[in-house]
Structure 1
Amino acid sequence: MALFFAAFLLWRRQRSTVLIIALALFWLLSSGWLTAPLLAWAQHGAHPVARATFSGRAAIVMLGSGTEYDANGRLIPKRDAIARIEKTAAIYADCTRVAARCDVIVSGGNPQRHEATEADTYLPWLLARGVARNDVVLENRSLTTYENAKRVVSILQREHYDSTILVTSAHQMPRALLDFHRFGCFPQPVISNTRRAHVGVLPRYINLVNADIALHELIGIAQFRVYHAIGWF
C-alpha cells in the first residue's frame, strides 16, 4: 500500500489507474481471493508426520510466534503460539510414555521488545499443561527463524539427542525446515495449526493478517535461497 501511495503521488497522469489497481489488490487480499493461494503457497511442502516417533532421549523443539498484551495488560502468547504450546504439551505427554527422556526446547527471543522473551512467556503455559520444569530448555536469544535453527541445533548437538521433533505452524514449517536442514538437522515436522483464508465478498481484517504472514514466509524462503546461493547461509 505504501508503494501504491508513492506511485499515486509521483505518477500524476496515471493516478486513476494506480488507484484502481490498489483498490483491486486491497479487495482481493481482504476478501480472501488472493490470500488463499498465498497461504497455500507458503504452507506447501512441509510434509508433516502423521504421528511423531520417539527413541532414547527425545527433544521436542517448539518455535516462538510472538507475544501480545491482553485487556489487563498481561503479556501472553499470541494465538499461533498457544496452538504450538498445546501441541507441544500433547506430544510431550506421548513422549514420556515411551522414551527414556523427553526435553522440550522452547526457542524464541524478544524481537517485539516486550517486557519478556517469547520463551520465558511461554514457560508457565507449558507447565500448566503438564510439562515438567526440569524437562524444559529455554533458548531465549533468537530473533529470527534462522537464529532459532542455529541456536537450537547447537543445543541438540551438545546434548546428543536420539530423536528430534519440530513443532510450529504450517505457514512457518517450510522455512523452518530449510533453516534446520542448513545446519544438518532433520527433525520430524509436526504441525500445530494451519491458517486459512475466509473467502467472500466483504473485506475481512483477518485476511490481511494472513496475507501479511504468508508474504513474510515466502519472502523469507526467497531470501534463504538467495543467501544460500551466494554463500551467506
Structure 2
Amino acid sequence: MVLIAASLLLFTRFARPARTVVLVVSVVLFVVGLSPFSRFFVQSLENVYPDISQNPGHVDGVIILGGATSFARGQLRVGEAGSRLVAALELAQKNPDAKVIFSGGSSRVMMKEERTEADGARIFFDLAGLAPDRVIYENKSRNTLENAIYAKRIANPKPGERWLLVTSAFHMPRSVETFQRAGFDVVPYPVDYRSDGRLRDDFRPFSIAPDGLRLADMAIKEWIGMLAYWLHGYSNSSFDKAKEG
C-alpha cells in the first residue's frame, strides 16, 4: 500500500519525497524477498521448541490444530500446513490407545462457512483409512484461543496425562502458551517447518522475491498475533521466549 500510494504521488507536487519512498520500499522488498532474512526471521519462532518426532515418548492424547484444510467448489483442499494431518495420522497409528482430537472450525468471522476445517480433516483421515471412531472433531473454534478452550473441554485431561499438541512450528510458541493459559499443559510436537535448519540452505538466497516475501509475511503475522495475545493476557512467556530465541 505504501508503494502504491507513493507511486501515485509521483505525479503531484510531492514527487520528490515520493521518489525517495519508492526507492526505499523497493530496496527493502528486494532485500527481504531475495535474501535469507525471512528464513532466519521465521526460525525465531520455529526454534523455540525442539523437534520430538523421532522420540515423542508416551502419548495419552493428541491434539491437532486446524489450518490445513479448506474447500473450493465442493472439493477438499489441503494447504501448506498439511503436515499437521500427516503427523497426526502417524501418531494415531503408532499409539492406538491414545485419544485424538482435531480442533478447527472456520476462521471466517463475517460470513458463515458451511463446511469447517474439521469436516476437511474428517475426509482426509477417512481416506487415509483411520477408523472413524479414533478422532473427536471440534468444529466451533475460530482461533487459537478457542482451540485451547474447546479442546480442553473435550479432552478433560487428567493429572499426569501426556497430551501432544500438533501444529506448525512457527505457530507453536503462541499455541503452547495459550493452551497453558487455558489450564491445559501440553507437549509441543512441532511440524510443518518452513526453514530447513541447515546453515548451507539457510544462507541460500531465494530464486524469486515472492517466496521470500511470503515467508516474511507469514512470520510477521505470527509475531503480531503473539503480541496481540500477550497484550490481551491470553499468553505470557512465549512472546519473551521467541524473542530470545
Selected match of 1:109 from 105, 109, 129? 105
How far the C-alpha of 1:198 sits from its partner, in A, is 8.4
Q: Does 1:138 align with 2:137?
A: yes
Label 1:225 to 1:127 Cα distance change in 2 as closer, same or farther (>3 A).
same
Aligned residue for 2:233, secondary structure, equals helix
Measured in 2, the distance between the counterparts of 1:198 and 1:66 equals 28
8 A contact 1:117–1:140 mirrored in 2: yes
How far the C-alpha of 1:131 sits from its partner, in A, is 2.3
CA RMSD of aligned residues (A): 2.8
CA offsets 1:57-88 (integer angstroms, 9 cap, x no match): x2210011143457x861222121x2111111
Match of 1:61 in 2: 63
How far the C-alpha of 1:229 sits from its partner, in A, is 8.8
CA offsets 1:132-157 (integer angstroms, 9 cap, x no match): 21121111111111211121122222
CA offsets 1:4-54 (integer angstroms, 9 cap, x no match): 434565764411211111111211222143212221122231234352233
Measured in 2, the distance between the counterparts of 1:230 and 1:42 equals 15
Q: How many residue pairs align between the two structures?
A: 221
Label 1:8 to 1:204 Cα distance change in 2 as closer, same or farther (>3 A).
closer
Runs of 4+ in 1 over 6 A off after TM superposition: none
Measured in 1, the distance between the counterparts of 2:139 and 2:87 equals 20
Q: Does 1:51 align with 2:50?
A: no
Label 1:170 to 1:229 Cα distance change in 2 as closer, same or farther (>3 A).
closer
Selected match of 1:20 from 19, 23, 36? 23
Q: Greater CA deviation, 46-55 or 103-112?
A: 46-55
Q: Counterpart of 1:75 in structure 2: which amino acid?
A: L
Selected match of 2:227 from 201, 209, 222? 222
Q: Greater CA deviation, 20-29 or 42-51?
A: 42-51
Measured in 1, the distance between the counterparts of 2:139 and 2:194 equals 26
Q: Does 1:38 align with 2:41?
A: yes
TM-score (norm 1): 0.82
Measured in 2, the distance between the counterparts of 1:77 and 1:230 equals 29
Measured in 1, the distance between the counterparts of 2:98 and 2:74 equals 34
Q: Counterpart of 1:135 in structure 2: which amino acid?
A: R
Measured in 2, the distance between the counterparts of 1:127 and 1:91 equals 15
8 A contact 2:168–2:190 mirrored in 1: yes
Measured in 1, the distance between the counterparts of 2:172 and 2:149 equals 15
How far the C-alpha of 1:129 sits from its partner, in A, is 2.7
Instruction: Point out where structure 1 has 5 or more consecutive residues left out of the alignment.
Output: none
How far the C-alpha of 1:127 sits from its partner, in A, is 2.5
Q: Does 1:29 align with 2:36?
A: no
Q: Counterpart of 1:53 in structure 2: which amino acid?
A: G
How far the C-alpha of 1:163 sits from its partner, in A, is 2.3
CA offsets 1:92-137 (integer angstroms, 9 cap, x no match): 11111xxxx3221111111246541111111121123342211211
Aligned residue for 2:142, secondary structure, equals coil
Instruction: Point out where structure 2 has 5 or more consecutive residues left out of the alignment.
Output: 196-201, 237-245
Aligned residue for 1:172, secondary structure, equals helix
How far the C-alpha of 1:177 sits from its partner, in A, is 0.7
